[in-house]
Amino acid sequence: MPSEKVTIALVQSSCQSDTAANLARACGKIREAAVLGARIICLQELFATRYFCQTEDYQSFDYAEQVPGPSTQVMQELARELEVVIIASLFERRARGLYHNTAVVIDADGRYLGNYRKMHIPDDPGFYEKFYFTPGDLGYKVFKTRYATLGVLICWDQWYPEAARMTALKGAEILFYPTAIGWATDEHSAGVRRAQREAWITIQRSHAIANGVFVAAANRVGTEDALEFWGNSFVCDPFGQMIQEAAHQEETIVVAECDRSRIEFYRSHWPFLRDRRIETYGDLQRRFLDE
């Protein structure tokens, strides 16, 4: 039987104001990851820009681009050259006045497989994404690439078990989460910082366990205005065990081997999908069970 092992990479990087420089840096990191043996490479959320959602500024809409468009084309050419799958998160201009937080998936032959639009849009101090992004309308998607069937969810989507479940039920073997999350720079409590980061890691590891899939989260690093991004990009196996994890302050490439045959093992020994009582979950479509 052919090997079910695939090596993946997460690019953990900082960003600057020059979008062309960010794109060039991302391409360089993809090349580095390919040299390290990665076949599927995921960039962080909105890799081409600084995290502009800290404020509501109409000028930031100028960062948006057509998808597929110029950045997508660059990624297609790179994927074809290196024979790697690329997951890239972009600020999509869908139409005049209509924008999405979007991830594109490029196959190893350079084919554009499609895109996922972020479904859950936050609106918190420092994360004013509802000002910029329309919630996704493509549903939860999987992409059958040369090396694995993968699902993509974006940042705030990380906190929702329903999103992970739906994507896993569609056949995803690896869930990728391009991310931009960090601490407020005026939050100095080490305990609060640790609790926030651990909650972020815990919820995603739980998605891996509940669904029997690999989970890979690619976060950014660096301080931008009032946010210090906490990095800690990681890959965990279908039982939530850490395979590789980055530090919180450094730029790096996280490389991990995912043995997809382990999905069968964990799902057989811990048969959560078998024992789901799907006929009892109808009320999940209600906002709250008032009665």
Q: What is the mean pLDDT of the chain?
A: 96
Q: Does domain 5-285 have CATH number 3.60.110.10?
A: yes
Which residue type, as a one-letter code, is found at position 165?
Answer: R
- For 63-96, what is each residue's pLDDT tens digit? 999 999 999 999 999 999 999 999 999 999 999 9
Among the listed residues 29, 45, 141, 224, the single catalytic one is 45
Q: Would you call 45 a catalytic residue per the annotation?
A: yes
Active-site hit among 15, 42, 92, 118: 118
Q: What pLDDT, on the 0 to 100 scale, is given for residue 1?
A: 58
Domain ranges of the chain: 5-285
Residues 9-22 have a mean pLDDT of 96
- Give 85: exposed, middle or buried? Use CB within 10 Å, 0-12, 13-18, 19+: buried
| Whole-angstrom distance, CA of residue 260 vs CA of residue 281 | 29
132, two tokens: 């910029």
The string of pLDDT tens digits covering residues 255-272 is 999 999 999 999 999 999
- 128-167: pLDDT as tens digits: 999 999 999 999 999 999 999 999 999 999 999 999 999 9
Q: Does 3 score more than 90 pLDDT?
A: no
Encoded tokens for 214? 């690999």
| Average pLDDT, integer, range 21-44 | 97
Instruction: Report whether pLDDT(194) > 90.
Output: yes
258 is catalytic: no
Q: How far apart are CA 171 and CA 141, in angstroms?
A: 9
Distance CA 163, CA 120 (A): 9
Higher per-residue confidence, 69 vs 248: 69
Does the active-site annotation cover 53? Answer: no
Strand pairing report for 182-184 and 214-218: unpaired
Q: Tens digits of per-residue pLDDT, 204-238?
A: 999 999 999 999 999 999 999 999 999 999 999 99
- Choosing from 15, 42, 53, 155, which is the catalytic residue? 155
